[in-house]
Copies of this chain bind each other. A is one copy, B any other.
Amino acid sequence: MRIPDHIQQTIDAFSRLPGIGPKTASRLTFYLLRQNEELAEDLSKALLDLSEKTAYCKTCFNITTKGQEECPVCSDSQRNHRMICVVEEPLDVIALERIGSYQGIYHVLHGVLSPIEGVGPDDIRIKELLDRTEPEEVEEVIVATNPNLEGDATANYIAQRLGGRDEISVTRLARGIPMGGEIEYADQITILRAMEGREKMNK
């Protein structure tokens, strides 16, 4: 039996999502068939809105709703606009906002430098970061790219380009052993970084 076309199309579309293979895609599709139609319709509508209503903040390139020039963080006058945290993706902003204590604003690069994949400085939002990082307006740039090869290279590139602006402090998120982690199972590079970044406990 051929699966009816409209059902196969749903399975195929689910399969294109990361981490979802053909079997999981089938399972999700038939789960939706078993439910009443509401869930499939809700998800369908949400996805259409996703592609139609999403816009990017003109200042930090975080996601926002079409029609709003700035994202909720940039348009919040309570935040410290002299402190910019540079992240790779919008999802990183959400992770950082979840801790609830960061009071500055963001800059979303939408990628990292990757010579292997042909991603250079002009392919991500580095120029826009440099443009908005004026010494009279910004005190600190916290580079929060992921601690891996590309993230490190991107962080170093940004630090170098901001090097001439002495009034601006360029910092990087501490690398070390995660809370709840165990030294026994940490990889060597992580232990090395944790050792290098060790903090004084007395005075």
Contact = CB atoms under 8 A, between A and B. Distances in A.
A101 interface: no
A7 B72 CA distance: 14
Interface residues of A, number: 60
A15 to B, nearest CB: 10
Main secondary structure of the interface of A (DSSP, over half): helix
A13 B3 CA distance: 25
Given A53-B6, A71-B1, A73-B1, A14 B30 contact: no
Contacts of A89: 30, 34
A47 B10 contact: yes
Contacts of A138: none
A41 interface: yes
B29 A50 contact: yes
Contact of A184 (B1, B27, B45): B27
A3 B95 CA distance: 11
A54 B13 contact: no
Given A16-B42, A17-B32, A33-B90, 12 more contacts: A4-B63, A6-B46, A6-B53, A7-B63, A10-B47, A10-B50, A20-B28, A26-B94, A32-B51, A33-B54, A34-B89, A44-B51
